[in-house]
Amino acid sequence: MSSSCALAFARAEPTPAVIDEDHLGRMTMRDARLEREILEIFVKQIALTLKRIDGAEASVVAAAAHTLKGSARGIGTWRVARAAEQLEEAAGSCARVEAIHAALAELEAACHEACAAISARLSDSPRGGSAAA
């Protein structure tokens, strides 16, 4: 490994988790059933929001992205929140179509990542669950 590669590797920051465990735990009071319910609702909200955004006018896109941003912040899916915020700003400022499409592509990627992480998390936990210790 060259010295420049080693230096870049040493400076690389760890990849943040898709879901901020501490934040989600605080927001759900560490109640496993509440966590499951909120995550299931968030996955449905993602699907509905992306469907609503598809082909919509800029004001609808901005409003839908704003709503998703708040929900993502509520459970600690920070990449989704940032991507939704970027789309909200692009659509709200009547940015060039290319900028809106790029922001939408980032939001879709972040949402797919979040949905995969949530799906894995929910398949690993028991259906009912009780409050975590």
Q: Which domains, from first to last, does the chain contain?
A: 16-124 (1.20.120.160)
pTM of the model: 0.84
Quote the distance between the C-alpha of residue 92 and its chain's center.
20
Please name every residue paired with 131 in a beta bridge, in sequence order, or none if there are none. 31
| pLDDT value at residue 124 | 87
Residue 131: helix, strand or coil by DSSP?
A: strand
pLDDT at 43 over 80: yes
What's the CA gap between 73 and 80, in Å, rounded? Answer: 8
Q: What is the pLDDT of residue 12?
A: 52
- Encoded tokens for 57: 């006018």
